[in-house]
Structure 1
Amino acid sequence: MTVAYWTVAGLLAAFYLYAGALKVIRSPDQLRPMMAWVDRVPLPAVRALGTVEVLGAVGLILPPATGIAPWSALAAAVGFVLLQIGAVAVHLTGEDRQVGLNVGLLTAAAATVWLATGQL
């Protein structure tokens, strides 16, 4: 179960670290080709979302690795489940309606929640 957690959580953390960093540092014009919803959300909210994603990625990896507050990895995984539920809603209410990636991330986050419960 430990190998499974580290595999799924590591991939999820890598994705959110990358995506979150892009949301924090790139302009809306640079984000638009990858994220059609960026024009419907205020830039401070996009930046805040990116910050949450980066912190969540750290939360999936650092606590279990150090043994300090390992329950926070579970909290980060639950946060990503909630984040993707919101992302699906944003995509479905917009014009792009591309939710395949979000469903995959939701599934990976749910698996991480399940695997993290075995780590506590």
Structure 2
Amino acid sequence: MNLTLWIVAGLLAGLALFSGATKVFLPKSKLDASTDWTKNASTGFIRTLGWLEILAAAGLTLPAALDIAPVMVPVTAAGWILLMIGGMITHTRYGQYKNVALCLALLAAAAFVTWGRLAFQPFTN
């Protein structure tokens, strides 16, 4: 189960890093061309979401890998759940139901990591 939790957290971290870097480093015009929701969002808001996702990528893996405050892994996963709820609300408003389903799947994965690292198999010495 420990390996499964690491894999799920690692996959979430990889996706968060990619998604966050896209929001931080791509020009807003390119983001607007690829998705509708960014057209009505400010550049600062999009960049902030991107940085939150990059921080989530770090928080899902580094605390446990470096053995520095590993309790931050489930805390970060819980924060990711909140981000996915926001994503589901936003994508529902724009009728992007495939993205809503993706957010729901990512929410479930983050809930699994949160539960796994808090209750089932926490990082203990």
Decide: shared fold, TM above 0.5.
yes
Query: Which residue in 2 is equivalent to 1:104?
Result: 105
Q: How big is the shift at 1:75?
A: 1.1
Query: Which residue in 2 is equivalent to 1:78?
Result: 78
Query: Which residue in 2 is equivalent to 1:119?
Result: 122
Query: Which residue in 2 is equivalent to 1:53?
Result: 53
Structure 2 vs 1, CA of residues 95 and 40 (structure 1 numbering), >3 Å: closer, same or farther? farther
Q: How big is the shift at 1:17?
A: 0.3
Percent identity reads 37
Structure 2 vs 1, CA of residues 67 and 12 (structure 1 numbering), >3 Å: closer, same or farther? same
Equivalences for residues 32-47 of structure 1 within 5 A: 32-47=32-47
Alpha carbon RMSD of aligned pairs, Å?
A: 1.3
Q: How big is the shift at 1:40?
A: 1.7
Query: Which residue in 2 is equivalent to 1:5?
Result: 5
| Distance in structure 1 (CA, Å) of the matches to 2:40 and 2:89 | 13
**Count, aligned residues:** 120
Query: Which residue in 1 is equivalent to 2:69?
Result: 69
Q: How big is the shift at 1:77?
A: 0.1
Query: Which residue in 2 is equivalent to 1:19?
Result: 19
Structure 1 residues 41-92: Cα deviation after superposition (integer angstroms, max 9, x where no partner): 1110100000000001100100011111011111110000010001101111
Contact 1:28/1:43, CA 8 A, preserved across alignment: yes
Q: How big is the shift at 1:27?
A: 1.1
* Unaligned residue ranges in structure 1 (runs of 5+): none
So what's the TM-score if we normalise by structure 2?
A: 0.89
Query: Which residue in 2 is equivalent to 1:91?
Result: 91
Q: How big is the shift at 1:35?
A: 3.0
